[in-house]
Structure formats: C-alpha cells, structure tokens
Chain A
Amino acid sequence: MLKSLCQKMFGRSLWVYHANSGGCNGCDIEVLNVLTPYYDAERFGIKLVGSPRHADVMLCQGPAMRSTAKALQRAYDAMPAPKIVFAIGSCACGGGIWFDSYSVLGPVEKLVPVNFYIPGCPPRPEAIIYGVAVALGLVDKKTAPVQFKQIELPIPRYHPEHLLGREELVVYEKVEKV
C-alpha cells in the first residue's frame, strides 16, 4: 500500500530535509556524499532543502536525544502531509552505541514514526541510494529475517539400559536419535 502511495505521491521528485538530532556527523557526510556528482542523487529527483516546510522526506541521523527531542518533533510536524521518514545509520535505527546513557532516549522511532531503515555505521552512500530506491519501488529489499532451529540432536544419545552383555563383548543394542 505504501509503495503504491509512494509512486502516486512522489511521482517526480523527493525533496529531502536533513535532520541531525545529535549524531556524530558520520552519516551526514555520507548523505552529502550521495549528492555529489559521483553518486548523483538528483537523477532520482532528490534535492536537499533547508526547511522542513518544503520537504517530503526527513532523513534522521543520530539517536533521539533528550536535548533535541522537541526540535525533532517540531520539524516533523512542520512537514506537509504525505511524509516519509528515513532512519539513517545505526544510531537512528537502534539508538547507537550509547543507547543506555542518560542523554540518549533511544532510536528515532520513539519520537517520530519511521518508514524506512538504513542500518550501517555509517551506511555506505550506495546503501543510502539503495534505501531510497527501495522506498521509490525501483528495487526490492534484499534482507529477510533468518531463523535456524536444530530439530534433531546431531549426536546419538546412549541409554545404559540398552547396553547388553554378549559373551565377551558389551554391545549397544539401538542407537537412538532424540
């Protein structure tokens, strides 16, 4: 649903507002790297704007901090209605290394609803472009949760009552897999 909505709403271009709520500037530099001619993001219509009132997309970098929480929420509220939030970097996705300290509240999604996550510390500029392409519906996402369960115990388990004496040898009657 969100995909079709994206294609309808953002047919031409995404105007991006770049909100740093207390990160280390690593992700900011990667985002600026995306806008350079090398990774030219303007071919997707992505343009950096200075005010949240002009923006369709908010790029959040850095964790939700105690000191910048209100400012971030105000910037989100100032954006016009169909809006998308990207959480860029491991701080914005999960709170960063200092997730449990006093001044850090946690991931950005505690304050604003996040639509797309781009993990990495910092993410490569390609990863950011890929995230935007996933949001636009140009490519499919590659990740999926992995789960592994051992159903059968890989080692035979012995029970002493099956050990039977036969002439000179002691023989184990049946090998059982649990």
Chain B
Amino acid sequence: MSVLSKLKETLACLKAGRVTLPYPAQPLHAPERFRGRPIFDATKCTGCGGCANVCPAREILLFDKSQEIRVLEYLGRRCTYCGRCADVCPEKAVTMSHEFENATNSIGDINQRIELFMSTCQRCGRCFKEPAALDQLKMKGYRFDDVEQERWVFRSESYFENEPVVDDIKIEWD
C-alpha cells in the first residue's frame, strides 16, 4: 500500500515538470503595475519640493546650497516605493521604474542627486525656478488664437512636433 502511494506521489511530481525559474542566468521582468525604484528626471524637475514634502520616509532631501542653486537628493535607503512622490509631481519628473535589482555592497549606490539653477525672489530672497509656473503653462501649447473673432484661445491639446497641429485640436473658448 505504501509503495503504491509513493509511486502515485512520484507520478504526480513528475507530471508537474520543472517549475524552478532560471532566474539570475536569464532576466525576469516584474509585472506591469510593480513599483520599483523612483527615477528623477532632472530636465523636467522644477525644484518645487513637493516630493520632499510628501515623502513618508523623509528620504528626499531639499536644500539651497547658495542663493541660486537648489539641491534635491534622494537617498533611498528606507524608501518603501509607495509612489507618492511620483503621484504629487506636477511636471511628471518622477517615475516609478520596474527596477528591483538594487542589491549593492554600499548603500550610497542608490542615491540620486540633482542640482538646479534657481532664481531668487527680489522680496523674500528665496529660490524659484524661472520662468514662473504660470508662464510655463501658457508656453506648453501652440497659440492658436481665433483671429476672425478677435479672441484668445488659451490651451490646445497638441504641442509635440510629430503630432498634427490642426486635426485633433480641442479649442476651449475663453
């Protein structure tokens, strides 16, 4: 009886085949919605400090090195990859990547540091990035004013070079 049951078990095990992943030899991709290491895009960053404000682990540091240079430093040691920095970023400069292979022998390998030029306010002396955020909003789209009726059109949906200008334009009247 015992031999028979063991044979059955052997058969069941053989049927399953090989399930072990050949992982470190072959790359393995994380699922679509996996949040890995956040990546800071320095070209998009305006230095507003929203990510530093909202980080629950307080791992994004922000300090003004001088009157005109603002340093943003992501240390990432105790980052829990919650994605709140990517959520709050107005310029979408923070993206949660799929990187999970972050194992290192020195903890300093996972930090990211951005230095940005800022302008100083004439009144309060604090840094801000020029041009001002309101001006940037206007500059995003083509100006496509209605000349015949002499009205401004503030916003258009297409502003990349490859996209057609006129076809999918959505006009919002002032």
Interface residues of A (CB under 8 A from B): 2, 37-40, 43, 90-91, 93-97, 99, 107, 115-121, 123-124, 126-127, 129-131, 133-135, 138-139, 141-150, 153-155
Choose the segment among B109-117, B145-153, B157-165 that binds chain A (4+ C-beta atoms closer than 8 Å). Answer: B109-117
CA A120 – CA B57 in complex, angstroms? Answer: 13
CA A94 – CA B19 in complex, angstroms? Answer: 35
- Minimum CB–CB distance from A64 to chain B (whole Å) comes to 12
A143-B109 CB under 8 A given contacts A134-B103, A150-B115: yes
CA A123 – CA B107 in complex, angstroms? Answer: 15
The answer to whether A146 touches B113 (Cβ under 8 A) is yes
A-chain residues with CB within 8 Å of residue B57 when the two chains form the complex: 90, 94, 96-97, 99
The answer to whether B100 touches A124 (Cβ under 8 A) is yes
> CB within 8 A of B78: which of A99, A129, A131?
A99
CA A67 – CA B109 in complex, angstroms? Answer: 30
CA A126 – CA B101 in complex, angstroms? Answer: 8
- Minimum CB–CB distance from A111 to chain B (whole Å) comes to 15
The answer to whether A115 touches B100 (Cβ under 8 A) is no
With a 10 A CB-CB cut-off, give which of B34, B42, B103 has the most chain A CB atoms. Answer: B103
Is B10's CB within 8 Å of the partner chain A? no
CA A39 – CA B34 in complex, angstroms? Answer: 19
Chain B count of residues within 8 A CB distance of the other chain: 41
A93-B105 CB under 8 A given contacts A127-B100, A146-B112, A148-B114: no
The answer to whether B105 touches A2 (Cβ under 8 A) is yes
Judged by DSSP, the binding face of B is loop
A-chain residues with CB within 8 Å of residue B23 when the two chains form the complex: 39, 126, 129-130
- Minimum CB–CB distance from A36 to chain B (whole Å) comes to 9
CA A124 – CA B100 in complex, angstroms? Answer: 7
Of all chain A residues, which has the CB nearest B77?
A94
Is B108's CB within 8 Å of the partner chain A? yes
The answer to whether B78 touches A93 (Cβ under 8 A) is yes
A141-B81 CB under 8 A given contacts A94-B59, A129-B24: no
Is B102's CB within 8 Å of the partner chain A? yes
Kindly supply a per-residue 1/0 record for chain B positions 53-83, scoring 1 wherever the CB is within 8 Å of any chain A CB and 0 otherwise.
0001101000000000000000111111100
CA A126 – CA B100 in complex, angstroms? Answer: 8
* 8 Å CB interface, B17-67 against A: 19-21, 23-24, 28, 30, 34, 40, 42, 56-57, 59
| Interface CB pairs A-B, < 8 A, 8 | A95-B78, A124-B34, A129-B24, A135-B105, A142-B99, A142-B102, A143-B101, A145-B112
> CB within 8 A of B104: which of A96, A129, A143, A146?
A143
Is B141's CB within 8 Å of the partner chain A? no
B-chain residues with CB within 8 Å of residue A155 when the two chains form the complex: 130-131
A90-B79 CB under 8 A given contacts A116-B105, A119-B110, A126-B101: yes
CA A150 – CA B57 in complex, angstroms? Answer: 27
CA A126 – CA B114 in complex, angstroms? Answer: 30
CA A130 – CA B81 in complex, angstroms? Answer: 19
A116-B103 CB under 8 A given contacts A90-B78, A90-B80: yes
Of all chain A residues, which has the CB nearest B116?
A150
A141-B100 CB under 8 A given contacts A93-B77, A148-B114: no
